[in-house]
Structure 1
């Protein structure tokens, strides 16, 4: 995922499409009662985003078109447990479950009461789910900034059991700590908010943030960690199965908790993962098919950050693309129905870009430009270019070039998912959309059309 710091800066300036149509209710054995939606539609909800609001998700129409909200992020402690705190850079319990919402800011128009045990985003997610019965919420653990101790937590059988137990106790059972000076929390305070776990370990075996603990055996331990999550989630749901397939067969005999993971669109990182074994434990993997190019390439060339298909004209030797990454994961053993394709609701930019032959594409730059959300990029002056052949779009004003997914590209990606029997689509992140939910609506169009 984009790192926490860059997401803050930007704010300031489906498992399902198999032979039979997948639905939002498939994950719990069909026990839901909401409208059926084709494919998984996963949206990351950032804890810190200036426009991260469950009410906005509801009123924009996003909620009715989603099947899963991934709440980002929960942290992993140095002792290998999930935790909540109000320590800067480590945790934000205030926004998670302590901050009171006014009636005007609340999903249902009801203000939080002073003595209420659950407030903050967690309570708003609970209200959002009540209005959208097809919608599930999972807690996403890690991310770019909070993956430091995953390797330690996954290193041994004992550490895995301890870590998984702590995460389920805190988030799925909802046993939130009562922190000093605040009445919120307590046993079961957040019970029913989260329907599972999403692991965003960036990355097993290295390549993530500086200072992350890394081991050569991380890939194997990641498999074992996900297996332990599956085991404990099934036990909590009253199931006896030891893997995803077994638990699905017993869907009507207990609650099925979701288990997913975000994975890199990078062959080197992908090749460290035991994909056939992982597929036995997870419901699906969210493939981060974005950030293929970006501001770390400050002098350019200005390039696509999330193109669907590779362009032979791309001067970068690897000629990366979402399609190439998706094919690689499937060739390595991940069933297509368990691959959820990621799309960005933000753009990367460059300045000092000459026009060239294609509106600045593949031209050198003098510097990178600040990241912008989807809605900010849409509002910029300049000409929009849509390359249907390669599933890419950008905006260019004669000197500044922004690579971002327009509504046309988002619909094209959703159709690609449907036509290739993939599991669904995922976006980072919901707060990047406009007030009408145009980006999520564009994905919905692509998943629904015949």
Structure 2
């Protein structure tokens, strides 16, 4: 998940609130006790999976080893498994009589960054990213996600007498660049396999361990990333008049494009424009013939999304024109829409899960502000799968209290110091998803 600063902010603000619960399904208490016993038995193996994956992270569309491990464990749990869906994606199907088709998804990829957690199982892995050798780290918790998906598979297989229908489990590649979900859909995910009636997913955060956060309605932002290449005419640094220098053109774009945010966007509307990279030149006395700028846009409404997209392109073309340069090359790198949780599923999950999680179950209404980060699970929702996406607390409350006392923030997702506690995160995710399925959490009947 990209740029998760402020992740589940609405849920953090709601931690002091206790969700109001309707009467849970009569058998849900027994199901929870049975599930807890299964997790007690299976957790050591799940922990070994998590630590193995943490030590061997793989970047998007390179998750060959990760996908192989996941496929092996899904087959062992009784699922019919297909690999290499949308690149390195994994699909496991378990049919259990009549009933709805339910999607459960976990993302598998890691990030091109150096780990600094100091964990005994820290990553020392390296990989090729955009032609460069880079360190790789599971700095967004996707290692715990793969482990919880295995836990969900084991539980649903063992508890077949508690639910009916078909479950489609997905190990998704390349969530970080926001391209993996679309790749699986383009590879016929919902044509080659049963089309889900609804779905679930979960993401570990730096909320306290034991917390399960539910946000009704829009829960994350749309994201769009671009590479903009400004073309010039290279030459000697002592003879700029004989050149078209793309570097000041790129610099002008970097400053002018922020006017789209400060003067064109409604101040009350959410919108972020980030310049994430500038690549140009090789030596101080050489004027290069091109300069690349990478831009990321975040928005929470279709209107602002279009404003930022159109404004960015317009400013880029204007900057090039002012510098007497050819029109720039604008390349779309990827993105995704706003992630929306089904309100009826959110309400039903609060009722079903509060007995299991108590005060740890926190709820943010539709009126609460979505998180600024983005999540390409939205591609499945936009493809017609109403869903519920849980935020899972992963940080030891004692560690959080110590950091607060020192005046230090807790490491967020994508920090080189991000180190959630795996066991409570995996247990909470498995419990939230399995009890939602057993408890009949689903969209409102049409």
Shorter-chain TM-score range: under 0.3
TM-score normalised according to structure 1 size: 0.26
- RCO comparison, higher one (Cα < 8 Å, 6+): 2
From the two aligned structures, give the one with the greater strand fraction: 2
Higher helix share: 2
Specify the structure having the higher radius of gyration (Cα). 2
